[in-house]
Amino acid sequence: MARKHGLTRREFVKGAAVAAVGGPLALAASGEETPSPQAFKTPAAASRPYSGRPEHGRWAEAFGWRLGMQAYSFNRYTLFEAIEKTASLGLRYIEAYPGQKLSAEKPNVVSDHNMSPEIRQEVKRKLEASGIRMVCYGVVGLGKDEAGARKVFDFAKDMGIETIVSEPPKDALPSLDKLCGEYGIRIAIHNHPKPSPYWDPQIVLDACQGLSPRIGSCADTGHWMRSDVNPVEALRKLQGRIISLHFKDLNVLGEGAHDVPWGTGQGNARAMLEELARQRLKAVFSIEYEHNWTSSLPEIARCVAYFEQVAGELAAASSKKGKAQ
């Protein structure tokens, strides 16, 4: 039987219908009890390790959406602790950033593209033991210095990183595009709040003109909100150029805003996901939760549950629409 993103069509349709009623995290396709979205709202459940059961994340990944952590969410901790926390949430992907301490055993070692081959091997072993893939890296500086850029690309290639997240100057993009082609690695242009160089999505679009699809946007929905940019409209404008996301929902628009569990803020998280489903985007969504730094795990767990819940509902709607046609 043909499979749709790891699921047979029968599994996809049946599961989507269940998801619409009871939520995808309540589905027990394997016959074992699967935690409901509500269960992830407590610290105890949030610390539950990844079960390895295929139903966890299956609805999001049916759209080609991979949910992971931006390690900066855990910047009060070491990279190894960030990997452990990511695994405890049931996630399988992480975006590393330069400058995080490596581990409690080696607090003076910084994790970045300057790590020695020996330290990189330690990181690889930790990732493998935790069931985590390092798929993105940034925000890291890239410019016209080819030797410096190659050092970042060499690191990314060695670690299996798919996307480098950066805010390179516009005049460096053509030469960086050539490196993307050479290495088979993409660059996602990140947007910090205004007046940073790429705060407006139109600026990103203009910068990408004439470049290959290997260069596009790392859509930071929270920073758009801080810049008074409607994130749904920004995502719509960037259709075809979104490579990865720092997905966020904030309590208010404008300066002084902070992260809140997805679906409870002013960003209209559901509409953002609906728009990305309409675009049929396949991308990594990195959770970058920049609030309650040392006690955010239960809130992040609610984001994970919300993401999968909405993905299940969108899957059900997609299935229903397909049957009607």
CATH of residue 49's domain is 3.20.20.150
Of 314, 185, 198, whose CA–CA distance to 246 is shortest?
A: 198
Give the model confidence (pLDDT) of 82-110 as tens digits. 999 999 999 999 999 999 999 999 999 99
Q: Work out how many domains the chain is built from and give that number.
A: 1
Measured distance CA(144)–CA(282) in Å, rounded: 29
Give the model confidence (pLDDT) of 29-82 as tens digits. 333 333 333 333 323 333 333 343 334 577 888 889 999 999 999 999 999 999
Which residue ranges of the chain lie beneath pLDDT 50?
1-55
Measured distance CA(81)–CA(75) in Å, rounded: 10
pTM for this predicted structure? 0.84
Angle among Cα 27, 30, 35 to the nearest 5 degrees reads 40
End-to-end CA distance of the chain: 21
| Res 322: pLDDT | 64
Measured distance CA(169)–CA(2) in Å, rounded: 45
What's the maximum distance between 2 C-alpha atoms anywhere in the chain? Answer: 60
| Res 323: pLDDT | 64
| Res 61: pLDDT | 84
Token pair of 9 as six digits:
């069509």
For residue 145, what are the domain limits? Answer: 3-324
Cα distances (Å, whole numbers) of residue 250 to 180, 247, 253, 260: 33, 10, 7, 5
